């Protein structure tokens, strides 16, 4: 494990402990051949009026060695709202996502072409020393709370079109 992946793993492990201590279903996905980096998976229930179940995946984007040497890391938060969408509704979904994205304080909704996934994504550039203590974890938790709020607010509209 490289120094950067060790650092990322340690931050995700701290977040795992934090969320588990708050009775939130959390799992640390270990690196493997398909996904060569660790991810923290957070499961939330009862999102939107349909009471959807969603998994927030948090991982540090690998391959940014120059930045990491300076103590800078990119944390990506990714949520799949639907694995597949209706290809016929692709343009309408793009329009809805673009309209919503103009109003979001963080992140963006998107949809992959050809009936692909409907998702939410947020990237944050973080300094390693910001993540050394409890305040860093609390900041990431507050960011996740805002993401959850946005998901709760807009999932029904997006899934109805998907």
Per-residue pLDDT of the chain (162 residues; tens, 9 = 90+): 455 578 888 899 999 999 999 999 999 998 888 777 899 999 999 988 888 899 999 999 877 777 777 888 899 999 999 999 988 889 999 999 999 999 999 999 999 988 899 999 999 998 888 887 788 899 999 999 999 999 999 999 999 988
Residue ranges of E strands in 5-157: 25-29, 39-47, 52-60, 72-82, 108-111, 118-127
CA of residue 49 relative to chain centroid, distance: 21
Parent domain of 26: 3-161
Contacts for 102 with CB less than 8 Å, ≥ 6 apart: none
Q: What is the pLDDT of residue 2?
A: 52
Give the whole-angstrom CA distance, residue 71 versus residue 13. Answer: 18
What are the residues facing 59 on neighbouring strands?
Answer: 76
Q: What is the pLDDT of residue 139?
A: 92
What's the CATH number where 152 sits? Answer: 3.30.1460.70
Task: Tell me the DSSP string of 139-156.
Answer: HHHHHHHHHHHHHHHHHH
Q: What is the pLDDT of residue 144?
A: 95
**134-161 and 3-21 helices cross at what angle (nearest 10)?**
80
Q: What is the pLDDT of residue 1?
A: 46
pTM, 2 dp = 0.89
As to burial, measured by CB atoms within 10 angstroms (0-12 exposed, 13-18 middle, 19+ buried), residue 71 is middle
Q: What is the pLDDT of residue 23?
A: 95
Number of domains forming the structure of the chain: 1
């Amino acid at each position: 494990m490289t120094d950067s992946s060790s650092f990322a793993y340690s931050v995700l492990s701290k977040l795992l402990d934090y969320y588990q201590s708050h009775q939130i279903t959390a799992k640390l996905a270990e690196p493997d051949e398909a996904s060569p980096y660790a991810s923290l998976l957070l499961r939330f229930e009862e999102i939107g009026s349909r009471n959807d179940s969603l998994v927030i995946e948090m991982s540090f984007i690998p391959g940014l060695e120059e930045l990491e040497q300076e103590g800078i890391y990119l944390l990506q938060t990714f949520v799949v709202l639907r694995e597949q969408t209706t290809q016929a509704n692709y343009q309408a979904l793009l329009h809805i996502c673009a309209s919503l994205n103009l109003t979001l304080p963080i992140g963006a909704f998107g949809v992959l072409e050809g009936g692909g996934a409907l998702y939410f994504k947020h990237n944050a550039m973080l300094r390693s020393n910001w993540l050394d203590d409890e305040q860093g974890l609390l900041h990431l938790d507050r960011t996740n709370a805002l993401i959850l709020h946005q998901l709760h607010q807009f999932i029904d509209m997006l899934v109805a079109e998907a």
